[in-house]
Structure 1
Amino acid sequence: MPTGKVKFYDADKGFGFVSGDDGEDVFLPAAALPEGSTTLKAGTRLEYSVAAGRRGAQAMHVRVLDPLPSVAEAQLAKRRRPAEEMAVIVEDLIKLLDKTSNDFRRGRYPDKREAAKVASVLRAVAGQFDGA
């Protein structure tokens, strides 16, 4: 199957063009988009089949190969700490949980202040893992 990049796509008009890796531009109708897609960004890599249309080659059965990163994903990356920082934080968390585990082995819950600290740290680290 041929591959290429979206040259442009106009969702309002319901069509666009794909610039094939072989240099050929192919018409891209809305009906050829993957299920659930209503638009494609310029530069998105696609795989598609080609059929002869009324005005030339037409893309059919389009599959997105590598979608461009979304704005939401970019914002998520900005909120996360660098991996090197997270390594140190996780190591400190392990030490904190190890101390708490030893308290549990001795049949004691941590006092309220210590329990609140553990819960707060766990929430913060979890937020970094899921980007919240």
Structure 2
Amino acid sequence: MPTGKVRFYDSDKGFGFIAEDEGADVFLPSSALPTGVTTVRKGARVEFGIVEGRRGAQALSLQLLDPAPSVAAGRRERDRRPAEDMVVIIEDVVQLLDGVGNGLRRGHYPDRKLGSTVARALRGLADQLDA
């Protein structure tokens, strides 16, 4: 089976591309992802089958070989932000979540941009607290 690295993947659009080790680009549809996987990170090593579609090579039955290393995973306690800085960050995140909660009470999900901002803020906060 061919191997390569994920060049990019857009979970909203449901597709991406793989840079095959031999140099060719291969289309990656969401249907090729393993069961339960909804996205793959740029740079993740993968193994996959190939079928020729109407527009060229397309990946089938993708398998993750080794996920791209997380920047947060290498952090140590000395890399943590000072506690005084974290207080301000947490207060800002609480305010942000309060606004999202009020919108949800009215039956409105946040728009895509705000939802993405909230998700990044929560991931960043979790990384700091987990360091």
TM over 0.5: yes
| SS state at 2:43 partner | coil
1:79 aligns with 77
| 1:18-42 deviation line (CA, Å, top 9, x unaligned) | 0000111000000101121111111
Give the fraction of aligned pairs with identical amino acids, expressed as a percent: 59
C-alpha displacement of 1:72: 5.0
Give the CA RMSD over aligned residues. 1.9
Residue 32 of structure 2 corresponds to residue 36 of structure 1: no
Equivalent runs, 1:91-102 vs 2, <5 Å: none
Extract unaligned runs of 5+ from structure 1. Answer: 81-130
TM-score, normalising length from structure 2? 0.55
Alignment deviations for residues 73-121 of structure 1 (CA, whole Å, 9 cap, x no partner): 334xx139xxxxxxxxxxxxxxxxxxxxxxxxxxxxxxxxxxxxxxxxx
Letter in 1 for 2:43: G
Which residue identity is paired with 1:79? E
Work out whether 1:46 is the aligned partner of 2:46.
Answer: yes
Match of 1:23 in 2: 23
What residue in structure 1 maps to residue 81 of structure 2?
none
Amino acid at match of 1:73: A
- Give CA deviations for 1:47-96 in whole Å, capped at 9, x if unaligned: 00001112111000100111012355334xx139xxxxxxxxxxxxxxxx
TM-score, normalised with respect to structure 1: 0.55
Q: Which ranges of 4 or more aligned residues in structure 1 deviate by more than 4 Å?
A: none
SS at 1:43's partner residue?
coil
Check if 1:61 corresponds to 2:55: no
Larger radius of gyration: 1
Aligned residues: 80
